[in-house]
Amino acid sequence: MTFETVNLVFQAIVFLFAISIHESAHAWMANRRGDPTANMLGRITLNPIKHIDPIGTILLPAIAWFAHMPVLGWAKPTPVNPRNFKNPVLDDVLTSVAGPVSNFLTALVALGLLLLISLTSPTGREIVHETTYGIVLLSGGSLLVPLSMLLYNLLLINVVLAVFNLIPIPPLDGSHVLRHALSGPALALYDRIGFFGLLALVYFGPGLLSRLISPFMAFFIYFLR
């Protein structure tokens, strides 16, 4: 089995886990802030079936994989009823950013485990270093090889999802922060053109996405060198 095949399988597994973490965090925070809607629908769960969106979870990641782009996408939106919030603006912002924050925290856990492997032995350090740069040879029999690959994908995909979802374009999470600074016609226009802006970003701006994601990945990779 080739590196590319194993890596693809790990990416699919990690992506489903990452979106489940992301949406569960939204649902959990909304419930904490007074809106039980998502909780009542069983969305505080790591079961990916509860979170799959045909376009964002299946079609878009497939396009990204075939185009050799970072894995991008989203899950089925977590239902939120802002009327249940005691502080509608603050609670909406906290609920929105909870998803990306959960992805960053998961990436930190993956980083910590990779560092632990790296510190176990010179072999562990070499495997982690090779995994980081995508030059792992699937031979040698060490269980640290597939484990490091899985953890690196866990790090990468969670960082990509966190940064992508923080972009202030509707319906991404970052838009919930910016839209509270708008009102009237500006807000209506922002909501109306947002989806087309998202499509343009995904299909015509891979270079921009890479520039947005690269500094965050560079921060994590710095600790693995």
**Secondary structure (DSSP) of 6-27:** HHHHHHHHHHHHHHHHHHHHHH
Which ranges of the chain have pLDDT less than 70? 1-3, 68-73, 134-141, 195, 202-206
What per-residue confidence (pLDDT) applies to 19?
94
Q: What is the pLDDT of residues 130-141, one digit of tens each?
A: 888 766 554 456
- 145-150's contacts with Cβ under 8 Å and 24+ in sequence apart are 146/6, 146/10, 147/117, 148/114, 148/117, 149/6, 149/7, 149/10, 150/10, 150/13, 150/14
Q: What is the pTM of this model?
A: 0.88
Q: Please give the C-alpha separations between residue 216 and each of 107, 123, 127, 180, in angstroms, as whole numbers.
A: 11, 27, 22, 26
Length in residues, the chain: 225
CB 35 within 8 A of CB 92: no
CA separation for the pair 103, 172 (Å, rounded):
14
H-type helices in 43-121, by residue range?
60-66, 88-120
Q: Which residues are catalytic?
A: 23
Of 152, 108, 112, 111, nearest to 130 by C-alpha is 152
What per-residue confidence (pLDDT) applies to 37?
96
Task: Name, in order, each residue with C-beta under 8 angstroms of 176's C-beta and a sequence gap of 6 or more.
Answer: 92, 93, 95, 96, 97
What per-residue confidence (pLDDT) applies to 207?
75
Q: In this structure, what is the dihedral angle of CA atoms 71, 77, 78, 84, given to the nearest 10 degrees?
A: 140
CB 212 within 8 A of CB 162: no
CB 225 within 8 A of CB 168: no
CA separation for the pair 68, 11 (Å, rounded):
12
Q: Write out the two tokens for 4.
A: 């590319």
What per-residue confidence (pLDDT) applies to 2?
65
